[in-house]
Every structure is written in structure tokens, then in C-alpha cells.
């Protein structure tokens, strides 16, 4: 117990870790707020710079950026009607009308306090549930891991993007990219096109920087001359009465955020949509009609997307499955530092788990501090023209990619992925599923082959094992249900029922 507590307080008591968490949170707010920059992009690039650091220092910075970034997107959503991050799209629905009414300061203040409440609740749930989940996960067979990974990829395919087929294509494409190189069991070259360069595989950080960094830079060229409308900001700190009034709603939407965030492959954007929908359905007398400046429409998504951060860490730290794109990138960071995300992480390196929990709580407190101050400086910084930002992003991508292995070929690959990612984005494909495919593809391959080996490579026995084991059966049924819910069968059943 005392060890747990000392690990928890590590980031609070070490001045260097404290500083890195503070810098990360502050930087995250700006990264999340500036349209064109994203938390995933920042963390992807950071991995390549921080892999020689001590793991605690690297994690402190990344956790800060993650927490700050999820919140930061709301500021530009309120002030400029431009969500800085996908998780802040719903914040703009009511946040911007509030700013137009001259209540931008109050809206920012309330969203800060609610984000902190959501973030702290998410952290609490992470601390309370993850150790038990990890214990349970130790009992999982390789086929269960395989099924959980399939479920995660299926969820990300269904919940992001404009069609299931596009989502599934993206995930499979990511899996193929992740499998390039030598087979880990037989050392046989796979998907290398006969090239010696590809025998070592394509480093996932190269793919991440290409798809999240360079592709975004190219995509932002479409809005090069977008001029934001400025808003007047005053009275940031919300009255205590106001916070108390919206506390019950924030508690409910925090739970929604944690649960949705914990589903592998989802994230703050989906959590905030669910929470907004919940608020619309349950709040009978909002302060204004929803969509016209209702404080309830601001509170719900803002609490949920920050609560989803803690939720997203649950599957990452207990099962080694990323909760969202950012945790997928953080898994990469843990692996680079020689750690093993999954149930063994809790046994082999419990300090990493409790350090992360303590660090998340600390980052949320810094969020409160930075969220309620420095708004004037912030207003200036987010006005940085894209004409300056886009070339700089590309240079950062080059530096970040080169610093992984000091290999120019990987820089060329990064640009290639950037250009390919641009076209995918143009035609409605999401980058998140591709990255999750890259990370989970090799894991799926490994667990599938282990599961097959355990039943003597007999497909019949494999199917029997799926039906005989309660957990495998439940997971299989959930996968089938998710698939069926996305097929024409669902509308057909609904039509039949409505006729009856």
C-alpha cells in the first residue's frame, strides 16, 4: 500500500516530473486548440524524441499533452467555432453560440472546471478497476486476446468514418502495414516486395507521423486562408453555484465518458457525442435551447471527453489494447522503452501503472490552473497563421522520423504515408483505424497463431473452443452482434417490427 502511494506521488514530489507534467499540460492545451495540430500528432512526434529519456519523464510529458490536448480543443470550439480536436466538435454546438452572446469567458471557465471533474473521475475509475481487470486478464487464453482485438478493431471501424466498409478497409490496411517484415516465428519475409530495406518492417512511429502529421499538414492546405472571428473574453472563473448546478449532469456524463473511452478503439470524440445526446434527452429545461447556447450542451461533452482519457487507459494498461488513437501511440512509447503493456505490466512494473494514475491526476490539476489563466496569451497564439504552421509541421515530421533510427529512407516513407494519408482523408477514410491496425495487426497475428496451435491447427476444434469457453462465447456473440447491427439486416428487422 505504501509502495502504491509512493508511486502515485512520484510525479507530485519530483521537481523534474512536476515540471514536465506542467509543460506537457500547457503545451497540450495549445496543441489541442490550434486547428491543424492534434494530440496524436504531437505524441507521435514526441515518441521519437523521448525514447532515449527515462520512461517516467517521457510518460509525464505525454500524459500532460494528452490531458491538456483533449481539453484544448474546446477553447477554439468556443471562441472561433473551429474545434481544435474531434472530441470538441460537440462543444462548438453550444459553446460558440454562448461566445456570440458575450459569455465566452464563462463558457471557457465552466468547460475547464467540468473537464477537470471528468478527468479526475476517469482517473479514479482507472485506479479502481484496472488492477482487477488485469487480474482477470491473466486468465485469458490467446483466443480471447484475439477476440478482444477483433472486437476493438470492429468497434473502431463501425464508430469512426462514414461507412463500415471504409473502416474495415482501413483497419485491414493498417494490419498489412504492421505485418511487413520478417515473420517473428519462422523469419520468413512477408509483404516485403522483395526489398531488403523492408525486412526489418516499417516502424509504426513512421506510419503515425506520416498519417497524423504530414497528411494533416497537406490536408490543412485546403483552409490556408481561413480567418477566425475573434470573441471578447472576460469573467472566466464560473460561480460556485453554477458549478454545483451542473454537477449531477457532469457526474452522469463522466460515467458515459469513462465507459465509452474504455471500449477499445473508441475515444473522446465518440464519448462526447454520446454525452451530448444524453444531455439532450434527459435535461428537460436547459438554460437555452440546445444548439443555441445551452450550458448543459457544453458541460456534457466537456466532462465526457476528459473522463474518456482515464477510460482509454484501462484497456491499454490491462489488456495492451489501445482505447483510442493516442493510447495506441502511447503503447508504442511503452514498447520502445522495453515495457510490456497488458496484464503483465501490473505485475512486472506496478510503479508504471500507479505513476500514470498519479500523473493523470496531477495533469488534471495543472489543467485547472492553466485553463483558468493566460487566456489573453492564448488568444494570440491560436491566431498563428497556417501559412507559417504548415511548413513547420512538415519540418517537425522530418526531424521526428529521422530521430527514430537516423535513417533517411524512413523519412521518405513518412512523406509517402503523408501523401497517401492525405488522399485517404479527402475521400472519407479515418487515420485512427489504420494506426490501430498497425499496432494490433502483429498482436492479432501472434494470438491467432497461438490459439490455432493450442487446438492442433484444427479449425473445428477452434470453433468448438469459442463455444465451450464462456468468455470466448460472450466475445464471439458481441462481435456477431456488432457486425449484424451494421448490415442491412438491422433496418429490415426494424421495418418488420414497426409493421407489426
Partner 1 sequence: MSQKFERVQAGEKVFDWLLLLLSVGVLIEAYRIDGIPGLNSPGSFPMGLALIMLASSLVILASHRYKQRDPKIRNARHELLVFFHQHFQLHIVVFTLFAVAYLAAIVWVSFYVSTFFFLAVMFIYFRQGRVVSSLIIAALAIATIYGLFTLVFRVYLP
Residues interacting with partner 1, by CB under 8 A? 48-50, 52, 163, 165-166, 168-169, 172-173, 175-176, 179, 183, 185-186, 188-191, 193, 218, 221-222, 224, 385-388, 390-392, 394-395, 398-399, 402-403, 406, 408, 411-412, 415, 419, 423, 426-427, 441, 444-445, 448-449, 452-453, 457-459
Minimum CB separation of residue 449 from partner 1 in Å reads: 5
CA–CA separation, 212 and 124 (whole Å): 30
Minimum CB separation of residue 426 from partner 1 in Å reads: 7
CA–CA separation, 280 and 297 (whole Å): 7
Grid cell digits, residue 14: 519530483
Minimum CB separation of residue 401 from partner 1 in Å reads: 9
Phi-psi map region of 54: left, alpha, beta (phi>0 left; psi -120 to 50 alpha): beta
Beta bridge partners of 189: 182
Tell me the residue length of the chain.
Answer: 500
Smaller CB separation from partner 1, 203 or 386: 386
Smaller CB separation from partner 1, 369 or 389: 389
Residue 369 phi/psi, 5° resolution? -65, -50
433 CB-near residues (< 8 Å, 6+ apart): 153, 156, 157, 160, 161, 167, 170, 171, 174, 265
Query: How far, in whole angstroms, is CA 176 from its chain's centroid?
Result: 22
Minimum CB separation of residue 452 from partner 1 in Å reads: 4
**Under 8 Å between Cβ of 59 and 352:** yes
Smaller CB separation from partner 1, 199 or 426: 426
CA–CA separation, 270 and 280 (whole Å): 15
Smaller CB separation from partner 1, 118 or 174: 174
Smaller CB separation from partner 1, 134 or 434: 434
CA–CA separation, 182 and 187 (whole Å): 5
Place of cell 448546478: 245
Smaller CB separation from partner 1, 367 or 443: 443
Beta bridge partners of 181: 190
Minimum CB separation of residue 155 from partner 1 in Å reads: 16
Smaller CB separation from partner 1, 187 or 244: 187
Minimum CB separation of residue 416 from partner 1 in Å reads: 10
Minimum CB separation of residue 273 from partner 1 in Å reads: 20
CA–CA separation, 383 and 26 (whole Å): 17
Minimum CB separation of residue 441 from partner 1 in Å reads: 7
Minimum CB separation of residue 413 from partner 1 in Å reads: 11
Minimum CB separation of residue 33 from partner 1 in Å reads: 20
Grid cell digits, residue 431: 487515420
DSSP run (H or E) holding 343: helix 343-348
Smaller CB separation from partner 1, 252 or 449: 449
Minimum CB separation of residue 188 from partner 1 in Å reads: 5
| Alpha carbon separation from 385 to 226, 373, 380 (Å, rounded) | 9, 23, 11
The single-letter DSSP state of residue 198 is T
Grid cell digits, residue 145: 486476446
Query: How far, in whole angstroms, is CA 405 from its chain's centroid?
Result: 26
Minimum CB separation of residue 266 from partner 1 in Å reads: 20
CA–CA separation, 27 and 76 (whole Å): 15
Smaller CB separation from partner 1, 36 or 118: 36
CA–CA separation, 305 and 258 (whole Å): 8
Beta bridge partners of 190: 181
58 CB-near residues (< 8 Å, 6+ apart): 46, 47, 50, 51, 333, 337
Smaller CB separation from partner 1, 311 or 441: 441
CA–CA separation, 56 and 106 (whole Å): 36
CA–CA separation, 492 and 497 (whole Å): 9
Smaller CB separation from partner 1, 24 or 310: 24
Amino acid at each position: 500500500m505504501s509502495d502504491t502511494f509512493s508511486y502515485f506521488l512520484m510525479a507530485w514530489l519530483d521537481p523534474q516530473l512536476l515540471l514536465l507534467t506542467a509543460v506537457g499540460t500547457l503545451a497540450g492545451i495549445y496543441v489541442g486548440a490550434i486547428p491543424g495540430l492534434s494530440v496524436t500528432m504531437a505524441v507521435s512526434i514526441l515518441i521519437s524524441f523521448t525514447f532515449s529519456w527515462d520512461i517516467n519523464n517521457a510518460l509525464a510529458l505525454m500524459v500532460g499533452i494528452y490531458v491538456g490536448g483533449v481539453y484544448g480543443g474546446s477553447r477554439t470550439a468556443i471562441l472561433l467555432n473551429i474545434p481544435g480536436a474531434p472530441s470538441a466538435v460537440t462543444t462548438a454546438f453550444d459553446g460558440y453560440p454562448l461566445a456570440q452572446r458575450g459569455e465566452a469567458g464563462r463558457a471557457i471557465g465552466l468547460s475547464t472546471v467540468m473537464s477537470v471533474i471528468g478527468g479526475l473521475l476517469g482517473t479514479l475509475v482507472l485506479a479502481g478497476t484496472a488492477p482487477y481487470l488485469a487480474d482477470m486478464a491473466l486468465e485469458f487464453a490467446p483466443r480471447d486476446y484475439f477476440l478482444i482485438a477483433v472486437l476493438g478493431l470492429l468497434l473502431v471501424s463501425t464508430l469512426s468514418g462514414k461507412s463500415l466498409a471504409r473502416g474495415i478497409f482501413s483497419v485491414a490496411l493498417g494490419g498489412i502495414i504492421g505485418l511487413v517484415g520478417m515473420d517473428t516465428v519462422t523469419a520468413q519475409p512477408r509483404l516485403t516486395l522483395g526489398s531488403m530495406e523492408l525486412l526489418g518492417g516499417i516502424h509504426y512511429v513512421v506510419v503515425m507521423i506520416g498519417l497524423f502529421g504530414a497528411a494533416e499538414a497537406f490536408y490543412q492546405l485546403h483552409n490556408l486562408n481561413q480567418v477566425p472571428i475573434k470573441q471578447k473574453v472576460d469573467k472566466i472563473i464560473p460561480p460556485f453555484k453554477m458549478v454545483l448546478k451542473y454537477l449531477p449532469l457532469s457526474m452522469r456524463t463522466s460515467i458515459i465518458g469513462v465507459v465509452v473511452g474504455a471500449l477499445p478503439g473508441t475515444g473522446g470524440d465518440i464519448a462526447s457525442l454520446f454525452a451530448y445526446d444524453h444531455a439532450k434527452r434527459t435535461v428537460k429545461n436547459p438554460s437555452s435551447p440546445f444548439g443555441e447556447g445551452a450550458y448543459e450542451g457544453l458541460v456534457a461533452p466537456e466532462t465526457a471527453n476528459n473522463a474518456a482519457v482515464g477510460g482509454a487507459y484501462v484497456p491499454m494498461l490491462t489488456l495492451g489494447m489501445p482505447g483510442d488513437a493516442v493510447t495506441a501511440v502511447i503503447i508504442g512509447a511503452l514498447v520502445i522503452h522495453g515495457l510490456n503493456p497488458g496484464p503483465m505490466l501490473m505485475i512486472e512494473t506496478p510503479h508504471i501503472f500507479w505513476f500514470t494514475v498519479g500523473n493523470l491526476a496531477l495533469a488534471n490539476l495543472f489543467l485547472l490552473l492553466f485553463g483558468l489563466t493566460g487566456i489573453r496569451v492564448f488568444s494570440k497564439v491560436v491566431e498563428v497563421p497556417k501559412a507559417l504552421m504548415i511548413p513547420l509541421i512538415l519540418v517537425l515530421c522530418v526531424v521526428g522520423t529521422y530521430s527514430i533510427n537516423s535513417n533517411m529512407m524512413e523519412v521518405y516513407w513518412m512523406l509517402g504515408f503523408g501523401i497517401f494519408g492525405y488522399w485517404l482523408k479527402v475521400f472519407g477514410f479515418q487515420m485512427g483505424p489504420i494506426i490501430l491496425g498497425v499496432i494490433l495487426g502483429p498482436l492479432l497475428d501472434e494470438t491467432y497463431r497461438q490459439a490455432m496451435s493450442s487446438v492442433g491447427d484444427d479449425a473445428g476444434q477452434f470453433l468448438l473452443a469459442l463455444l465451450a469457453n464462456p468468455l470466448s462465447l460472450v466475445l464471439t456473440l458481441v462481435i456477431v452482434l456488432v457486425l449484424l447491427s451494421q448490415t442491412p439486416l438491422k433496418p429490415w428487422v426494424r421495418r418488420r417490427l414497426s409493421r407489426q
